[in-house]
Structure 1
Amino acid sequence: MQQGSLARYKLYPSSLLWLDSLSQAGKDLRARCCQIQACDTDMVKGLAADAHRLLARGDASGGAIVLICLADRCRDAGELVLAREYCEEAVSHFSCYDDCRHAHNLAVTYYALGLVYQSLGLETDAIGSYDRALEAFDEARSQWMWAHECAKRMMNECDEVVRWIRELRQGLALGQPAPPLLTGTLVKIPMWSTSAGSLLRVREEPVDWVDVEVSALGLANFALLINGNSMVGLGVQNGDVVLVQETADWPADGQIVVVRMDRMESESVLKRFYRRQDHICLEPANERYPFLIVLPNWRLKEEVSRRYAQSHPERGLEFFLESSVHCVGWYCGKVG
């Protein structure tokens, strides 16, 4: 397995979606999708129902993005009827917009639908969906040219996906089997070292590369080797390798997050995230370790300390300024 196999994983539809306009409710729901370790049909349908509630409230982009994330998981698990349903519904919602961001997501959705059709053996439908994806990516690329803040990156991404779709389409036309993007494929992802206890440096270069089944990967795109035992209460122990979806967005309350601390020279921790009224609490799953308290300013330190002394008198506290703390990614499960 070569490191280049990661590039093919990055062509998963859910990893290509444009997310900057995603609402907070959409981000929270997408974060819950990341926690699915296998295609639990009841859980998937429950998340789809939540996505439909977003759609009913007028959040078409958020609801449709979640449906594509769910479709990826369903396709990997062989739940192709559900995957098709979610993709077709997402197409209908993204088709209502004409800006470059939604044009890009519409193209991704046609691509996702083509993968489902191909998995179902519906070659003609797959070719048609791939053709629509190519047209939509061409339109999105022309629109990205005017979006100066991200134009080059997004145009390059469009070009990469277009090359891959043409390869898929050509293979279908020639009656060739699809290249390995589906269930059972191993991908090699980079692994860094981080901490679930004391704060350790995250290295500039990966310490290793690990093979992971695509069906287990979900939305994760890198791995972390855990040093420490502060998350043992959640089954994450010293020496475990965990999967992380890279994102700068804070997760929903209760989600496990990887956080970088500037004060500690780019060191990082794995903790459970809670947003309180006047601070953020990064909570370990081991009572022997302190809470990490993130404050907007130091003036709140005394008051917050007083409250924790009353509610958790046995627990220590470590304080950080909000400006020095950055979300690195969301925990997506363990390897193996």
Structure 2
Amino acid sequence: MYARIGARIKKARSELCLSQYDLGAMLGLTATAINYYEKGKRKISIEELHRLAKALAKPVAYFLSDPAAAGDIKQPAAEKAEIINDLQDIPVLGMIKAGEASPARQGLIGFLPLPRQKSAALFFALLVKGDSMAGEGIDEGDLVLINRQNHADFNGQIICALINGEESSLKILLREKDKIILRSANPAYPDIVLENEDALTIQGVYAGVFKFPAALPE
């Protein structure tokens, strides 16, 4: 699997006329590390793949999709089997609003295949509707990857917030004195200010975004 991802990394890098040194400098890595990625000699985590995808201006799905189906990279049948066996399905658990806070649609609506790793069980994905997080590169129709945890790691982190036990939204968490502020990444949307800590439940923190041109359900 990693050899296939590496081939895609090399192809995307070449399209941008970047050397391995150039790409490494963008990511704080050495040219040797990039070379190992491209040759499939170094495993890549979800977080690392997201950083590479952003640097190469590609959706993460570009590196995970079947290249043989796209017709641009040849792939032996044995390697296809390896890819399938080395992927793990992350549940897509419904829709989250990136707009006005409102009840989220809950329930399993599909799966997102990602590289298998021990921490995969800690992740779930949500379908985005709205444009309040557009300033962070999160647009309507995207799938956001959420790391399950009940706390934020730092002030200003993007969280999946359950507000007053029923309103779910993707927002930037800010704590100022005795107030909790949930801020959009779009100035068209006002802050949500909570005076009571009990009004907020953190369901997870933002870990990445996947760009898909799929239509959203109404």
* TM-score in terms of structure 2 length: 0.55
1:240 aligns with 2:142: yes
1:30-49 matches, within 5 Å, as 42=28
Identity of aligned residues (%): 30
Which of 101, 111, 126 aligns to 1:209? It is 111
- Give 1:302-321 correspondences, 5 Å limit: none
Q: More helix by proportion, 1 or 2?
A: 1
* Shift in Å, 1:188: 1.1
1:193 to 95, 108, 118: 95
SS of the counterpart of 2:198? helix
Larger CA Rg, structure 1 vs 2: 1
Secondary structure of the 2:107 match is coil
Q: Measure the CA separation in 2 of the matches of 1:200 and 1:207.
A: 19
| Counterpart-to-counterpart distance in 2, 1:291 and 1:212 | 34
1:225 and 2:127 equivalent?
yes
1:335 aligns with 2:185: no
Match of 1:324 in 2: 199
**How far off is 1:224 after superposition?**
0.7
Equivalence map 1:61-76=2 (5 Å): 76=43
For residues 326 and 242 of structure 1, the distance between their equivalents in structure 2, rounded to whole angstroms, comes to: 18
Q: Which runs of at least 4 in structure 1 moved beyond 4 Å after TM superposition?
A: 217-220
Query: How is 1:156-171 mapped onto 2 (pairs within 5 angstroms)?
Result: none
CA distance change for structure 1 residues 198 and 41 in 2, over 3 Å: closer, same or farther?
A: closer
> Which residue is equivalent to 1:252?
154
Which structure 2 residues correspond to residues 64-143 of structure 1 after superposition, within 5 A?
A: 76-77=43-44
Q: CA 1:186 to 1:268, structure 2 compared with 1: closer, same or farther past 3 Å?
A: same
Q: Which residue of 2 aligns with 1:94?
A: none
Stretches of structure 1 that go unaligned for 5 or more consecutive residues are: 1-39, 44-74, 79-179, 297-321
Q: CA RMSD in A?
A: 3.5
Q: How do residues 2-17 of structure 1 correspond to structure 2 at under 5 angstroms?
A: none
**Which of these residues, 290, 301, 312, is aligned with residue 190 of structure 2?**
290
Equivalent residues, number: 140
Of Structure 1 and Structure 2, the greater strand share is in 2
Kept in 1, the 8 Å contact 2:88–2:120? The answer is no
Question: Runs of 5+ in structure 2 lacking a partner?
Answer: 1-25, 30-41, 46-81, 212-218
Residues of 2 paired with 1:219 and 1:256: CA distance?
Answer: 20
Deviation at 1:281, TM superposition (A): 1.1
State the one-letter code of the partner of 2:172. Answer: R
**8 Å CA contact 1:220, 1:243 repeated in 2:** no
Q: Compared with structure 1, are the counterparts of its residues 226 and 204 closer, same or farther at alpha carbon in structure 2 (3 Å cutoff)?
A: closer
- Please tell me whether the aligned partners of residues 231 and 285 of structure 1 are also in contact (alpha carbons under 8 angstroms): yes
Structure 1 243/277 Cα, relative in aligned 2: closer, same or farther at 3 Å? Answer: same
CA contact (8 A) 1:222 1:244 kept: yes
* Secondary structure of 1:323's aligned partner: helix
Cα distance change of structure 1 residues 294 and 219 upon mapping to structure 2, 3 Å threshold? farther
Instruction: State the secondary structure of the residue aligned to 1:200.
Output: coil
Change (3 A) 1:257 1:241: same
